[in-house]
Amino acid sequence: MVLTGSQSFRMPEKWLNVAAVFVVVSGTGASTHEMRACELCLWDVTAETRPMQATAVEKSLKGYDMASTGLQPSYPRHYACPPLTSLYASWIDVDGTRRKERHSGVDAGRLGDPILAPAPAKVRRVWVADWGEGHEGAVLLLHTREDLNLTDGPKFYYSEFDHLKYSDVSNLKEGQRIERGERIGHVFRPGGKTIYLPEVHFEVYEVDDDKVLAWRVNARGTEFFVNPTSRLIDPLYLLSLEVRPNAHLEASIQPFEAKRDYSGFKGFTYFLECRKPGDR
């Protein structure tokens, strides 16, 4: 939903290209399925080449600047979770129509579903946005590397929620600290219009420097942000850091559990409320 100075729309290496590099380095004649397994577990590489290859795998899983990652959600058996309805970098919308551009995030949820903070954060901004469907609420959260229990990589991450009802989120204040799993709003409709299916649009960015965040006004008279140090990534990447994707690129969705200790949990928990059978 924003334009950043680093979005050049170049396509990172595809999975098969990365796999081909792995096969050349390791000297194996693995099948495509075996190559993908090798990409994820790095079981057929030397100690000298492992860091380089691990970096290439992570880059492909992030999908910088709307490059397809191939990640697919895998929902927990013992929970009912509102599903993702449109994936990152996709061209086809949930109703089967073709988009004008690649999808910059994921869409999810059903009307009224609670939206949860995917990790500890500070509220960076709550504002009235308009992406072409009409005025609606939007929320930008700022997460530190430490909030996500990560020891390296970017210093900050943004998570952005769009298509909200502004009156539902206007109680959030800039600088307010919120915790993982805290309710921040509910699934609504783009522009609040019934001609659109209910959904929340969720975007994630890596950010090197939050201090250079700036706000602009678009042709519709509403704000959007610009940060030249931010890069758009697949939300499923941060949703798959605690339990890594398998060889089929399935990302295991981790629902937020109120009584769980998250002091060492890596990345994001699911941003919509999952329920166990019998829960009200």
Q: Is the pLDDT of residue 215 over 90?
A: yes
Q: Mean of the per-residue pLDDT values for the chain?
A: 85
Distance in angstroms (rounded) separating the CA atoms of residues 147 and 163: 25
Distant-in-sequence, close-in-space partners of 208: CB < 8 Å, separation ≥ 6: 154, 155, 156, 229, 230
The alpha carbon dihedral of 115, 119, 125, 131 has a sign of negative
Q: How far apart are the first and last CA of the chain?
A: 34
Residue percentage of the chain with pLDDT more than 70: 79
Phi, psi of 48 (to 5 degrees): -70, -35
Q: Is the pLDDT of residue 34 over 60?
A: no
Q: What is the pLDDT of residue 82?
A: 96
Q: Is the pLDDT of residue 119 over 90?
A: yes
Predicted TM-score of the model (pTM): 0.82
Distance in angstroms (rounded) separating the CA atoms of residues 149 and 54: 19
Domain formed by 75-252, architecture: Distorted Sandwich (2.70)
Burial label for 61, CB within 10 Å (0-12, 13-18, 19+), is buried
Q: What mean pLDDT is predicted for residues 75-97? A: 89
Phi, psi of 27 (to 5 degrees): 75, 25
Reported confidence tier of residue 50, pLDDT bands at 50, 70, 90? low
CB atoms within 10 A of CB 202: 24
Q: What is the pLDDT of residue 94?
A: 67
**Which tens digit of pLDDT belongs to each residue from 127-183?**
999 999 999 999 999 999 999 999 999 999 999 999 999 999 999 999 999 999 999
**Which tens digit of pLDDT belongs to each residue from 233-273?**
999 999 999 999 999 999 999 999 999 999 999 999 999 99
Number of helices followed by number of strands (H, E) in the chain:
5, 14
Phi, psi of 137 (to 5 degrees): -90, 150
Containing 103, the helix (H) or strand (E) segment is: none
More confident residue, 36 or 208: 208
